[in-house]
Amino acid sequence: MRILIVDDSALYRKILSEAAGALPGVTAVSVPNAELALSKLASEPVDLVLLDIFMPDRNGPEVLAEIKSLYPKQNVVMVSGATGRDAGITLEALSNGAIDFIAKPAAGGLATGAELMKKEISRVLDTVRQRSSASDGTPRPAAPQEAAARTSLPAFSRSRTNPPAFLDLVLIGVSTGGPKALGEMLARLSPDFPVPILIVQHMPAVFTLSLAGQLDRVCPLQVKEADDRRPLKAGEVLIAPGGRHLEMVKDEGGALSTRITDTAPVHSCRPSVDVLFESAARCRLRGVVSVVLTGMGSDGAEGLEKLKACSPVWSIAQNAATCAVYGMPQAVVNAGLADEVLPLAGIGPRLNQIFRVS
């Protein structure tokens, strides 16, 4: 695997190069500006570009646009700070072709920063490998944690042929490729959508507030980052705050509200889709539509099995052809938990149809 690092900071080029070079089978080359990056891409194959958000000649999103124009299939991951300004620009890049982002270490010295970046680069390389396998038709061996999750889930015996007659809400789980997928899906919803929508997007703190603002601009419904003890309202979309779990609870009168927790990560994720789905299972709802979109791993499958055991559920999984990474939806499909498998463009209209709005 060949990685091209594009960053004007000599310190971060050093941190990223050492982190990438420490991974087996990885060769890393670094350049300080966009011109050298484009020259390097023209002269040799590169599996992954790590692209800084801010550079003096051209900023990251501008360079991303040039790269995607010249090399549409090139894998680009943004390298971002964790400020609100950086988060907004990073999310725009994710909507315009970047497959993921990694956050620059804020403090802790060179050794600590390199170790953090080594883990993050390893994670995004797994994404690149899975995308490469999917594009050339090669079956991808399941990672150990994915295989364990799948084998622990018995095939679900589907007795339902239509969505439940009474539906309380929509639950959505998504990871890699999520900002772009959510924007496309939510933009197609009716402004008269009659139930609350709760979303878990795997993302660290700061970024989800910017994501909620970005989605609010394209979605006809109000989109907000979820806060604790917020009553669920029809037609409102709530996103789990980055780095924290989103759960739902039901009071004695049957009213539903949110609960934000800092319990341990699940599948190395916080927020976790499983945590949201399992909390919904405890609420014993009249009916739920679940949607599992693009993402690495299997988060959501176990929680969905528990939810289906406790409440009537209609489960939609995004299809492989339209996923940035066909991991989380594949886990749902492989477990026999999907009632429908749809392309991304068809999910929003299908939700409108299920809830009888236009």
Question: Which residues form the catalytic set?
Answer: 175, 202, 299
Do the beta carbons of residue 116 and residue 22 sit within 8 Å? no
Distance CA(91)–CA(88), nearest Å, equals 5
Q: List Cβ neighbours of 118 (8 Å cut-off, separation of 6 or more).
A: 19, 20, 22, 23
Distance CA(205)–CA(196), nearest Å, equals 23
Q: List the structure tokens of 209.
A: 């507030």
Burial class (CB in 10 A: 0-12, 13-18, 19+), 42: exposed
Tell the residue number behind the tokens 């315009």, with chain if given: 96
Tell the residue number behind the tokens 């009474």, with chain if given: 166
DSSP state of 295: B
Do the beta carbons of residue 227 and residue 258 sit within 8 Å? yes
Strand segments (E) across 180-234? 197-201, 222-225
Strands 100-103 and 48-52: unpaired
Do the beta carbons of residue 296 and residue 325 sit within 8 Å? yes
Distance CA(100)–CA(267), nearest Å, equals 18
Do the beta carbons of residue 274 and residue 149 sit within 8 Å? no
Cα–Cα separations (whole angstroms), residue 43 to 39, 40, 160: 6, 5, 55
